[in-house]
Amino acid sequence: MSNSEDLFKKAISSIYHWSIEGDKVKPPQIGFPPAVKARIAFFASQMEGGLLFSGALELILAYDEQQAKQKCEMGGEWLPVSDEFRKWRDQPDFAQVFREEQIALALMYGAGMESNNDIHGV
């Protein structure tokens, strides 16, 4: 199997590989780098104060950092985009097309985080 195929299979698995343990459904394991986990947790905590899901996703990804910072500072605290996060977000590989979906799963279900406590405090 080529490296490209392996990357593609890992990316697909990070979105669609749900499992059942006992009577609980488990989200896929994503394996975020520490900077990505920190950024997701930072903006997920702002959702408790009224930040909408779509806004959190936009602020986490921050493709246009200046615009995202301006939007965030209207009602929330901004976390600058780290080089580690930017490298993960912009890495040109097959997994790149799934970055938004991976973050969405983390926001909704805690997928890829150490535990759901990292996001939802439960």
What distance in Å separates the CA atoms of residue 119 and residue 17, rounded to the nearest whole number? 20
Per-run averaged pLDDT (10 residues), the chain, 122 residues: 77 89 90 94 92 95 94 86 95 82 92 59 39
**β-strand partners of 25:** 20
For residue 12, give Cα distances in angstroms to 15, 51, 59, 66, 117: 6, 28, 24, 31, 25
Q: How far is residue 57 from each of residues 31, 68, 101, 107, measured CA to CA in Å? A: 18, 11, 10, 8
How many domains does the structure of the chain reveal?
Answer: 1
Residue 32: phi, psi to the nearest 5?
A: -70, 145
Pick from 85, 81, 84, 57: which is nearest to 69 by CA? 81
Q: CB-side exposure of 88: number of CA atoms within 13 Å?
A: 22
pLDDT the model gives residue 120: 44
Could you tell me the residue range of the domain that residue 27 belongs to?
A: 3-120
Q: What's the pTM?
A: 0.84
Task: Say if CB 111 and CB 48 are below 8 A apart.
Answer: no
Output the pLDDT for position 113: 81
